[in-house]
Amino acid sequence: MAFLSHPLKPHLLSTPKPKRQTSKFPTKVRMSFQESGPSVAVVGVTGAVGQEFLSVLSDRDFPYRSLKLLASKRSAGKSVTFHDRTLTVQELTADSFDDVDIALFSAGGSISKEFGPIAVEKGAIVVDNSSAFRMVDGVPLVIPEVNPEAMDGIKVGMKKGALIANPNCSTIICLMAATPLHRRAKVTRMVVSTYQAASGAGAAAMHELELQTREVLEGKPPTRNIFNQQYAFNLFSHNAPVLENGYNEEEMKMVKETRKIWNDVNVKVTATCIRVPVMRAHAESVNLQFEKPLDEETAREILKNAPGVVVIDDRASNHFPTPLEVSNKDDVAVGRIRQDVSQEGNHGLDIFVCGDQVRKGAALNAVQIAELLL
């Protein structure tokens, strides 16, 4: 499986992407363009996740009667091909959400804070990929395979706008694997170490990693526009701001979001988030401590039957999940499933999880939320 080596080159904006593996959950909606479908707007369509929104909408044949592509004034006027139709990117304004049923946002927190409430006021259901509303009381924070009940009562056609938040990509990838085990044995403490790809910082970071790799191999000083240190052939603490408690914002997102999604303020979560020189797809080492005993064979069977999860756990050949294997895939891969030898009585497990940050960690999760609105 090759990674996306040239994300968002100009010609890709008008070239349909090939079909890709789709997740086991939820069942695909096979309708696509339909007069009775919702009107959909994609905000931030020219960014890495915005482009992935279009790919996922196409792959899952999401039903729509109209599709509005929105971006900054700088990107307005660009052409995008979708379902054999050429659409023009429009400038995002306060008037963009007239008659919009579902608005998929991925344009950054400041844009979401400015335009999300405007869209809601005009009756749109906003699915926001930024961190702007995740921890706001009353705003559902949803992973469809994990807590779909959080958005009960929010449906297209109710003639009322609403906000739904997409969790952080690392939280999504982690909880896709941890939640099925949590349901069986109740997680009391979770320790997560992440290995996060360039895709998490957007298309520009992916470009910079590619550029730096060439520069370093050619003996040139690496270009450092996105991160303040060399990324190629290196790894470093996640670039999110470090808080007074010593954790960075990315790490605290995992702590707070896990508690909200699981509706459990008492679960103990600690995280260390690291940038690694991988183009696309995050990896995470997750240590789980349980209230009830859970042996590794039972855990393996639970994960094999979990929606949106695939188990890659071949000890004999030392084959476990890798970012390359999950890039451009919908399912989250889990392996290295083993009893934690530091805990007695089968009360601890270690697992290793990989998931495509742009796909399930962002665009797919948002579109699955949108499917639940129909």
Residues pairing with 70 in the sheet: 43, 90
The set of catalytic residues is 169, 282
Tokens of 287: 């240590």
**Residue 222 and residue 212 in contact, taking contact as beta carbons nearer than 8 Å:** yes
Contact by Cβ (8 Å): 188, 267 = yes
Quote the CA–CA distance of 282 and 31 in Å, as a whole number. Answer: 32
Token couple for 168 = 């952080």
Q: What is the amino acid identity at position 72?
A: S
Do residues 307 and 360 touch, judged by C-beta distance below 8 A? no
- Rounded to an integer, what distance in angstroms lies between the CA atom of residue 259 and that of residue 271? 13
- Residue in 345, 330, 303 with CA at minimum distance from that of residue 182: 303
Collapsed DSSP state (helix, strand, coil) of residue 294: coil
